[in-house]
Structure 1
Amino acid sequence: MKIALISDAWRPQINGVVTTLTKTCQMLGGLGHVVEPITPDRFKTWPCPSYPEIRLALCGDAKLAKLLDGFKPEAIHIATEGPLGMAGRKYCLEHGLPFTTSFHTRFPEYVNLRLRVPLEWSYGYMRWFHGAARRTMVATPSLMSELKARGFENPVLWSRGVDADLFSPDAAIHLEERRPIFLYAGRVAVEKGIEDFLRLDLPGTKYVVGDGPQREELARQFPEARFVGYKTGRELAGYIAAADVFVFPSRTDTFGLVLLEALACGVPVAAYPVQGPSDVLTDAKVGCLSEDLRNAALGALSLNRADCRRFALGFSWDRCARQFLSNLQPF
């Protein structure tokens, strides 16, 4: 099948959405399908307000239409609600083509945290955007239920995977800082709740792996923590596998792909009992969930690393890609 994937999130961005999309494309290619990513790197772009490292496509309607006309896809998936997503939605509606979308990110909550835009306004836009799709793919059953309660009529499940060869206990690097090591990896931004983690009274050393608009501010505010910037591939796996506990302070993630990466490295997780962590950490042997994040972090120290690794091996990118494929709406 020839599949057009339209997304405002793509390399060189480093996040769970990009990882999910690129891994799915790779797996679909291995299954014999042809995937054409239509992404910002193919357009003129401008920096996203308040997040300049993210580049958004500029005036992409005509070029997107030309790319789709030339590719002649048999199915179209729109992964994001940004400028390219809007252009793809418009094209499909004008040509009478069925399409699917996916709900990866809680933009209403992000916009509320940054700009205080009421949630009902943003969810109204999201409901309108996804309402034209035949199906909207979401990562967890609890998110499906929430979106249905918010008036979304077409959510279906599309779970996630992990590269268990890359993210492995064997990847661990040597860290000289005092143990135990509590580590967060991901975007360093207000919606991730990292300040909650850094304020915890914990023994040992705190690590923050990643970058983003809050990094400089938090590094000044918490000089005792180690901020090591973005890491990718084997280097990222090395830092995660070297930790004693992975602390995930976000209350806004729809899944939290990095949770699976930590577990595949044999690292137990501490998190709030909210959507995302509650959906992923379904076995008490691999993570501690509590509104008292300090207690969760200390409790996770006693969990068995082999149990964490074994749990993560139940998730694969092959299964993720096949689920995505079954959700598509071919013409």
Structure 2
Amino acid sequence: MRILIVSDAWHPQVNGVVRTLTKTREVLEKRGHVVEVIGPGEFRRVPCPTYPEIELSILPYRKLVRLIEAFAPDAIHIATEGPLGMAARKYCKRHNLIFTTAYHTKFPEYVQERTGIPLSWSYAFMRWFHNGGAGMMVATDSLAQSLTERGFKNLRTWSRGVDIERFKPRPKDILDLPRPIYLYAGRVVVDKNVEAFLKLKLDGTKLVVGIGPDLDGYRAKYPEAVFAGYLENGHLASYFSAADVFVFPSLTDTFGLVVLEALASGVPVAAYPVTGPIDIIGPHPEVGALDEDLAVAIRGALGKSPEACRDLALQYSWDACTDQFLRNLVPLERPVPRASVASAAKAA
């Protein structure tokens, strides 16, 4: 099958959406499918206001049309609701083509946090965007229930996986820091609620791995914490396994791939009882703790079984995740309009 994925989140961005799409494409291609990902790198773009690490495509429609028609997909998946996602949706609707979407991010909550725009406005846009497709993929049951209550339709489960060869238990002596070591890994940005972790009074070491627009401010405000910055995958995996507790303070993520990476490393997880943690950790208290008081969750997670953490992570594979993605795709009932030779050349 020739599968087209359109995403406003793509390399060189580093986030859960990019990791999910990258691993899914890898597995699909190993199975013989032809996968094309159209991302912002193909277009003129500008930094996203208040979040310059994310670049937004400028007026992408005409070039996007040429790229879609040159590829001639058998199925179309629109991963995000940004400028590229909007342009792809417009194209599909204009040509009466079936497409699927995915709900990767609690976009309304992020927008409200940054701009004050009411949730009702953003959710109205999100319903319009996603309900226009043949199905919207969501990562967890709790997210599906929440979105159903908000009027979203045709929801389909698409879970996540973890690289169990990269993230695995290792010796903890790589880090010469006072213990216990409490690790946060991810984007250092207000959306991730990192400050809820940083402001806690904890014995041991608060360790933050990652970069983002709020890194310098947090580093100055919380000098007692250790900020390691960006780490390549090999070093990142070592830091995961060296921690005593992985702290996931986000209130708005829809899953949290880092939770699986911590568990695969044999590290218990402390988090709030929200979508993602409540689906992964909630049924398995032996691998972590959830509480409205993050400090209580951290204390509860300390000392949980590394073996139990690893065993649970082994249940999440990218192969199973990709099986779900394939089942959720809806093949086109008619081919996309064929690009002319000139259009194909321009898109190349």
User: Which interval holds the TM-score relative to the shorter structure?
Assistant: over 0.9
CA RMSD of aligned residues (A): 1.0
Secondary structure of 2:133's aligned partner = coil
Amino acid aligned to 2:305: N
Number of positions where the alignment pairs a residue of Structure 1 with one of Structure 2: 331
Deviation of 1:170 (Å): 2.6
CA contact (8 A) 2:139 2:254 kept: yes
Once residues 76 and 67 of structure 2 are traced to their aligned partners in structure 1, the CA distance between those partners, rounded to angstroms, is 12
Give SS of 2:46's match.
strand
Offset from partner CA, 1:177-236 (integer Å, 9 cap, x none): 111100100011111111111111111101000111111111111001011112231111
What is the letter of the counterpart of residue 233 of structure 2? G
Who wins on radius of gyration, i.e. which is larger? 2
Contact 1:270 / 1:297 at 8 angstroms: preserved in 2?
A: yes
Residue equivalent to 1:62 = 62
How many Å apart are 1:53 and its aligned residue? Answer: 1.2
Deviation string 1:126-172 (CA, Å, 9 cap, x unpaired) is: 00111110000000011111111101111110000000000011375
* Cα distance in 2 for residues equivalent to 1:72 and 1:194: 43
- The one-letter amino acid of 1:303's match is K
- Does structure 1 retain, via aligned residues, the 8 Å contact 2:2–2:34? yes
Other-structure match for 1:183: 183
Looking at structure 1, the residues matched to 171 and 124 of structure 2 have their Cα atoms a distance apart, in angstroms, of 44
Taking the aligned partners of 1:83 and 1:168, their CA distance within structure 2 comes to 38
3-state SS, counterpart of residue 112 of structure 1: helix
Matched, 1:302 2:303: yes
Measured against aligned partners, the alpha-carbon deviations of 1:250-269 in whole angstroms (never above 9, x if no partner) come to 11111011000000000000
* Aligned residue type for 1:206: K
Say whether 1:9 aligns with 2:9.
yes
Q: Distance in 2 between matches of 1:55 and 1:266?
A: 35
In structure 1, C-alpha distance between the alignment counterparts of 2:120 and 2:300, rounded to whole Å: 37
Find the counterpart in structure 2 of residue 174 from structure 1: 174
C-alpha separation between the residues in 2 aligned to 1:171 and 1:23? 27
Amino acid at match of 2:59: C
**Shift, 1:57, TM fit:** 1.2
CA distance in 1, matches of 2:231, 2:213: 16
- Once the two structures are superposed, what CA deviation does each residue of 1:54-112 show, in whole Å capped at 9, x if it has no partner? 11111110111001111100000000000000010011111111000000001100011
User: Where does 1:74-113 land on structure 2 (aligned, <5 Å)?
Assistant: 74-113=74-113
Give the distance between the partners of 2:172 and 2:314, measured in 1 at CA.
18
**3-state SS, counterpart of residue 84 of structure 1:** helix
What amino acid maps onto 2:57 in structure 1? A
Partner of 1:317: 318
Distance in 1 (alpha carbons) for counterparts of 2:126 and 2:231: 32
Q: TM-score, normalised by structure 1?
A: 0.98
Percent identity, aligned pairs only, is 57
Matching of residues 230-309 of structure 1 within 5 Å = 230-281=230-281, 282-309=283-310
Segments of structure 2 that go 5 or more residues without pairing to the other structure are 333-348
2: CA distance between counterparts of 1:77 and 1:53? 24
Aligned to 1:157: 157
Alignment match, 1:196: 196
Supply the distance in 1 between the matched residues of 2:53 and 2:293 (Cα, whole angstroms).
33
CA contact (8 A) 2:170 2:242 kept: no
Q: Retained in 2: the 8 A contact 1:100–1:329?
A: yes
Query: 1-side partners of 2:269 and 2:232: how far apart?
Result: 20
Deviation at 1:41, TM superposition (A): 1.0
Match of 1:223 in 2: 223
Letter in 1 for 2:323: R
